[in-house]
Amino acid sequence: MPANLPPQYYELEREYKAERDPREKLRLAKELLAMMPKHKGTDKLQADMKAKIAKLTKQIDGGGERKHGARQATTPDHIEREGAAQIVLIGPPNSGKSSLVETLTNAKPLVADYPYTTREPLAGMVPFESVQLQLIDTPPISGDLYENYMSNLIRNADLVVLVCDLEDEQFIEHTKYIVDKLNEKRILLLPDVSAEPEDPRFSYKRAIVCAHKAYEDESGEKRARLAELLPGLEMVSTSIIDDESMEICKRKMFSALKVIRVYTKQIGKEADMTDPVILPIGGTVEDAATSIHKDFAAKLKYAKVWGTGKFDGQRVQRDFGLTDGDIIEFHI
């Protein structure tokens, strides 16, 4: 039986064979496997690719064969998600990413006035109302540097914040370079990612623009140029010496995630307002129950909900749509 592979497969296969970095090669192998039609004609091809993926994974984890005592070096291409969401900051050298992370979180990145200070990603937690957001500082992206693991970090994040330094005379050129570089890596920064990529090799990432050091743009002309370069992406103006702008930045990041917070309560007790369930906008009672445990959701009979625009203790079924700030009481 013929394999009937799509044309994109052969293009991606050429890239896979030419790639030398094992982590990027692993990503391409997984994309090739996902692109294969699932039928008898591709059984052997699927098995071969799964074997290659297993071998690459073992090599990256340090379990591959050693030569003369050498071991495959590891790179920080994955950071365990913590809090309500994972947000990655990207930008050119000296754009202010590390200063933002230092100001917004409890992390202590190395901050200096020379380029390429940040060489590895560093995560910190941003407190926002009743949730914590994980913010990741990353090495700069420029013509001189693009760490291979950056693609995986960006692909895995819930939100990308593109930091643009308005004090930089070449901020438009540097920003355009980053966007073009990510396009080359098949990562598209978009305001909305509800649509599936037409080409499975691409990754659509929800993003906002951080116009940093906004005091350098009293007229707003620089931000207007950014908006023209990045149409559709929401923009937040920031300065680490302006506390209000930092609070607005937190709120903009949370808003851009397109999620809601739902608080749970036990029957006859007060609601727990410290550890909300995080759901996508449009999430239902069943979604909330499933996020706690799938067996719990299966046993659910009905729920009672408190919130804006609802009767206190309103009885609802599992398909009832929830909104941010709702309190829910499950009955099984």
- Entry field: residues in the chain: 332
Judge if 278 and 190 occupy the same domain.
no
Residue spans of alpha helices (H) in 36-149: 43-60, 97-104
Q: Which of 237, 256, 275 is the last residue of a domain?
A: 256
65 within domain boundaries? no
Question: What is the number of structural domains in the chain?
Answer: 3
CATH code of the domain in which 287 resides: 3.10.20.30
CB 313 within 8 A of CB 304: yes
3-state secondary structure 149-186: CHHHHHHHCCEEEEEEECCCCCHHHHHHHHHHHHHHCC
The residue type of 264 is T
Lowest model confidence (mean pLDDT) among 36-45, 157-166, 212-221: 36-45
Question: pLDDT confidence of 106, banded at 50, 70, 90?
Answer: confident
Does pLDDT of 75 surpass 60?
no
pLDDT digits (tens, 9 = 90+) for 258-292: 999 999 999 989 998 988 999 999 999 999 999 98
Average pLDDT of 155-159? 94
Q: What value does the mean pLDDT of the chain take?
A: 87
Domain that holds residue 127: 85-256
| Same domain assignment for residues 215 and 263 | no
Q: What is the reported pLDDT for 109?
A: 61
Residue range 243-253, pLDDT digits in tens: 999 999 999 99
When comparing pLDDT for 57 and 227, which is higher? 227
Tell whether the model's pLDDT for residue 87 goes beyond 80.
yes
pLDDT at 220 over 70: yes
Nearest to 256 by CA among 138, 133, 140: 133
225 with 197, same domain: the answer is yes
pLDDT beyond 90 at 207 = yes
